[in-house]
Amino acid sequence: MKLTLHIWRQKNASSPGKMVRYETDANEHMSFLEMLDVLNEGLIAKGEEPVAFDHDCREGICGSCGFVINGVAHGPLPSTTVCQLHMRHFKDGDELYLEPWRAAAFPVIKDLVVDRSAFDRIIAAGGYISVSTGSAVDANALPVRKKDSDMAMDAAQCIGCGACVAACPNASASLFLSAKMSHLGLLPQGQPERMERALNMVAAANEGLFGSCTNIGECEAVCPKGIRLEFIARMNRDFLKAAWTFRQERVESD
Amino acid sequence: MSAAATALTGKSAERFRFWDSPIGKKAVMAATGFILFGFVTGHMLGNLQIYLGPEKLDAYAEFLQQTKGLLWGARITLLICVALHVTAAIQLALLQKKARPQAYVKKTSAGSSYASRTMYWSGPILLAFIVFHLLHFTTGQAHPDFQHGAVYRNVVTGFQSAPASLFYIVAMLLLGAHLYHGIWSMFQSVGINHPKYTPVFKKLAALMAAVLVGGNVSIPVAVMTGLIR
């Protein structure tokens, strides 16, 4: 199959980018990234700079890959990362526009590669639990309601790819934030830090230049892991409760 | 220092609370939106008395004017709600501009309603409409032949102007779109989302939006077609 690609080419973070047109051949068994690999082989042979894109496991679980195909993050197939998107879902003669995630929080490093360390700073702000190291507690000593553990597992599916931010018209990280908060907040181990987690992660997202959630659901539609809007409501609940009941710690000197 | 403490530094450590966060602002928008939705519903029900004749409608208007305390209490409450709703919307829109400085060359919506994506448009147009509406039927400056207290007559003469009627109809369609998203979205904003209830909220939102558009649009249409004269 023959494809016409329009790819965002940007030399580095400080230079302006532009869309560049390429013609390429692909077969239906290739993944989208393999199709780009073939394009890059050709570019290298011609002495041109290959298209830079993020990738690692190529089995849809690491969260490294992802860009926008024809205006949809991770492309047209629901619940799929670009590495798991196969060319059989496209037609001969298709014209595809490939762009990086666009958000102030995710500056472009090169071509389709963006810097997602804003997500790391959000995790550092509250996406953890404190446990005593040493001998592990007997797992069965701490009962967890089945429905809670199922929901926590659903939230824990989040691979932090950033598609939610890319798809959101407000560039909000709410789906990511809420997945991390729900994953921990639904389990007993996540309770001690639950309120501080909500305050601190939301504050970190604000400092990271992410936008506000307007409940429109674009994020849910593109999420490769099926994280639901319901988790955002759960985050809102935690945050509002924490914000209303917050007590400033008083440190007395002497 | 733990990582948690480093996230809240300087000013934000003291101040990053309810109103400073987008979630807090959205909760305020939900609460004020709820009150405003309640008002437009009551307002429509009151207005529909136009079909009962001039005596009924004018008597209802006079009854509302009688209790000044209640009237001004309601007006001030609505004014505060509009002010908060608009302030939060403007601040969130400015945040949006900062968060997505460069637009996509090509963007396709994958799962959102047209109404939800156009809230930033339907909102300001509705605000302009409210100003016009007050000048048209409350204070009369925008009305060709306004008489205080003669509500029925003012409505009929006001809607005999085709441009005015058309603006009302367009504004009501936008109100419908705004509420189609807003009525269920307010629950999400304050943290209520459940597979059992959210689909009900969405259906309720569609129903209420349709009822409000239908009820309100019927009045200029009735005047224009001569059903009410």
Complex-level ipTM: 0.91
**Predicted local distance difference test score (pLDDT) of residue B38:** 98
**Kind and range of the H or E element at A114?**
strand A113-114
**Predicted local distance difference test score (pLDDT) of residue B16:** 58
- Show pLDDT as tens, one digit a residue, over chain A (254 residues): 999 999 999 999 999 999 999 999 999 999 999 999 999 999 999 999 999 999 999 999 999 999 999 999 999 999 999 999 999 999 999 999 999 999 999 999 999 999 999 999 999 999 999 988 888 888 888 899 999 999 999 999 999 999 999 999 999 999 999 999 999 999 999 999 999 999 999 999 999 999 999 999 999 999 999 999 999 999 999 999 999 888 777 677 66
> Residue written as tokens 């659903």?
A154
Beta-ladder partners of A9: A18
Average pLDDT of span B5-22? 60
Please judge whether B112 and A105 are an interchain contact, meaning their C-beta atoms are less than 8 angstroms apart.
no
- Out of A200, A214, A221, the one facing B8 most closely (by C-beta) is A200
In whole angstroms, give the CA distance from residue B160 to residue B121: 28
Average pLDDT of the residues of chain B: 92
In whole angstroms, give the CA distance from residue B173 to residue B214: 9
| Residues of chain A with C-beta less than 8 angstroms from the C-beta of B98 | 104, 209, 211
pLDDT at residue B9 tops 50 = no
In whole angstroms, give the CA distance from residue B64 to residue A152: 53
Long-range pairs for A189-194 at CB < 8 Å and ≥24 separation?
A: A189/A129, A189/A131, A189/A142, A190/A129, A192/A129, A192/A130, A193/A126, A193/A128, A193/A129, A193/A130, A193/B4, A194/A238, A194/A242
Task: Tally Cβ neighbours within 10 Å of residue A248.
Answer: 7
Task: Report the chain B residue with the minimal C-alpha distance to residue A103.
Answer: B100
pLDDT at residue B15 tops 70 = no
Q: Please say whether the beta carbons of B12 and A207 come within 8 A.
A: yes
pLDDT at residue B206 tops 50 = yes
Task: Tally Cβ neighbours within 10 Å of residue A97.
Answer: 19
Q: What is the DSSP letter of B201?
A: H
pLDDT at residue B11 tops 50 = no
In whole angstroms, give the CA distance from residue A233 to residue A178: 8
In whole angstroms, give the CA distance from residue B36 to residue B77: 9
- Out of B6, B22, B100, the one facing A104 most closely (by C-beta) is B100
Q: Distance from A76 to chain B by nearest Cα, in Å?
A: 8
In whole angstroms, give the CA distance from residue A240 to residue B202: 23
Average pLDDT of span B103-114? 93
Instruction: Please check whether residue A214 touches B, CB under 8 A.
Output: yes
pLDDT at residue B178 tops 70 = yes
Model confidence over B37-52: pLDDT tens digits? 999 999 999 999 999 9
**Domains present along chain A, CATH in parentheses:** 2-110 (3.10.20.30), 116-245 (1.10.1060.10)
Amino acid identity, position A195: M
Instruction: Please check whether residue A67 touches B, CB under 8 A.
Output: no
B25 Cβ neighbours under 8 A, 6+ residues apart: A212, B19, B88, B91, B92
| Residues of chain A with C-beta less than 8 angstroms from the C-beta of B14 | 248
Please judge whether B185 and A214 are an interchain contact, meaning their C-beta atoms are less than 8 angstroms apart.
yes
Report which of A73, A74, A75, A79 is spatially closest to residue A224, judged by C-alpha positions: A79
Report which of A247, A171, A244 is spatially closest to residue A214, judged by C-alpha positions: A171
**Residues A142, A242, A167, A129: is their CA dihedral positive or negative?**
negative
**Predicted local distance difference test score (pLDDT) of residue A246:** 80
Query: How many Cβ pairs closer than 8 A exist between chain A and B?
Result: 176
Q: With cut-offs at 50, 70 and 90, classify the pLDDT of residue B5.
A: very low
**Predicted local distance difference test score (pLDDT) of residue A254:** 61
In whole angstroms, give the CA distance from residue A46 to residue A40: 10
Q: Please say whether the beta carbons of A107 and B99 come within 8 A.
A: no
In whole angstroms, give the CA distance from residue B71 to residue A213: 35
In whole angstroms, give the CA distance from residue B123 to residue B118: 8
In whole angstroms, give the CA distance from residue A37 to residue A19: 18
Residues 25-54, chain A, touching B (beta carbon < 8 A): none
Residues 1-20, chain B, touching A (beta carbon < 8 A): 3-4, 6-8, 12, 14, 16-18, 20
> Residue written as tokens 């209640």?
B70
